[in-house]
Amino acid sequence: MTDGGDPDILIRVRGLSNGFGDQIVHENLDLDVRRGEILGVVGGSGTGKSVLMRAIIGLQTPQAGEIEVFGKSMAGRDDEEAQSIRKRWGVLFQGGALFSMLTVAENIQVPLREFYPELDQQLLDEIAAYKVAMTGLAPDAGPKYPSELSGGMRKRAGLARALALDPELLFLDEPTAGLDPIGAANFDTLLKELKDALGLTVFLITHDLDTLYAICDRVAVLADHQVIAIGTIPELLALDHPWIREYFKGPRGRFAADANERNKANADMNRTETGA
């Protein structure tokens, strides 16, 4: 792959192979992520959802294949070139992955200090406070340590750090895992609002069917070491693959679909009543 390509494709993966010893995780995997979309990535246990994300962001060295981000190949770049690409994305790992010995504000400032060491402390504090507010946290969350936060607040703090550099692209690994249904729905709403307001592209690993229905534009399904299907949920429902059928048409899938339809109907009713 060479630099360039379709400007509407922010991530392009071709022929990707990953494995650990004799265990094959991915084999000849292809994937495109379009500019401005929220792409949900699903798959059974062991299908390598997190491994795929880590390969794209450079934390996992593939055995074979090519990865392009922002139209630029990630292979063979020196540190300065790679850093210029990486500062354009943000990452929220599972559980938030906050540094326990740093406050929320200090966690948010970590990528700023890495990429912009010339910034003075006052500006760092102002940026951190802005990101705290942007993600729906109270102003007093900034000086708190992760251990003083609830699970939902830690996820929002992790998201604030992922947004520290005003990225174009977000990688989120199971952001609603461990949250109660209300907390998960609120996080989904926040993510959709941020995506629309900031023009973000989102690579979202999740097992949460409610999230898939509520905010994902397309869904990529990992199985058999590859992306076996990618499309809207109605497009996936038309397929006859056994895992897709079990996942989306099983009891939990039907419940999520019904809940999504109810939410849409309530939203339409509210718009009608308010004249919006």
Widest Cα–Cα separation across the chain: 61
Domains and CATH numbers, the chain: 36-58+94-269 (3.40.50.300)
Does the pLDDT value for residue 253 go beyond 70? Answer: no
DSSP 3-state assignment of 238?
coil
Residue 263 pLDDT grade (very low, low, confident, very high; cuts 50, 70, 90): low
Does the pLDDT value for residue 211 go beyond 50? Answer: yes
Half-sphere exposure of 29 (CA within 13 A, CB side): 34
Task: Read off the tokens for 93.
Answer: 């790992």
Mention every residue, 6+ apart, whose C-beta is less than 8 A from residue 163: 90, 131, 134, 135, 170, 194, 198
DSSP 3-state assignment of 204?
strand
User: DSSP assignment, residue 141?
Assistant: G
The pLDDT tens digits for 129-149 are 999 999 999 999 999 999 999
Query: Quick one: which H or E segment has residue 51?
Result: helix 49-56
How many whole angstroms separate alpha carbon 51 and alpha carbon 53?
A: 5
Does the pLDDT value for residue 123 go beyond 60? Answer: yes
Does the pLDDT value for residue 16 go beyond 80? Answer: yes
Give the DSSP per-residue string, 64-123: EEEEEETTEE-TT--HHHHHHHHTTEEEE-TT----TTS-HHHHHHHHHHHH-TT--HHH
In the chain, count of helices (H) and strands (E)?
Answer: 10, 10
Give me the residue label for tokens 């005003």.
166
Residue 2 pLDDT grade (very low, low, confident, very high; cuts 50, 70, 90): very low
Nearest partner of 183 among 153, 157, 212, judged by Cα: 153
Beta strands in the chain (DSSP E): 9-20, 23-34, 38-43, 64-69, 72-73, 89-92, 169-173, 201-205, 218-223, 226-231
- The pLDDT assigned to 259 comes to 60
Q: Name the phi and psi angles at 21, rounded to 5.
A: 65, -125
- Cα dihedral sign for 74, 78, 79, 83? negative
- The pLDDT assigned to 84 comes to 87
| Beta pairing class for 89-92 and 169-173 | parallel
Q: What predicted TM-score, i.e. pTM, was given to this entire model?
A: 0.89
Residue 1 pLDDT grade (very low, low, confident, very high; cuts 50, 70, 90): very low
Residue 265 pLDDT grade (very low, low, confident, very high; cuts 50, 70, 90): low
| Beta pairing class for 218-223 and 38-43 | parallel
- The pLDDT assigned to 6 comes to 77
Instruction: Report the length, in residues, of the chain.
Output: 276
Read off the amino acid at residue 174: E
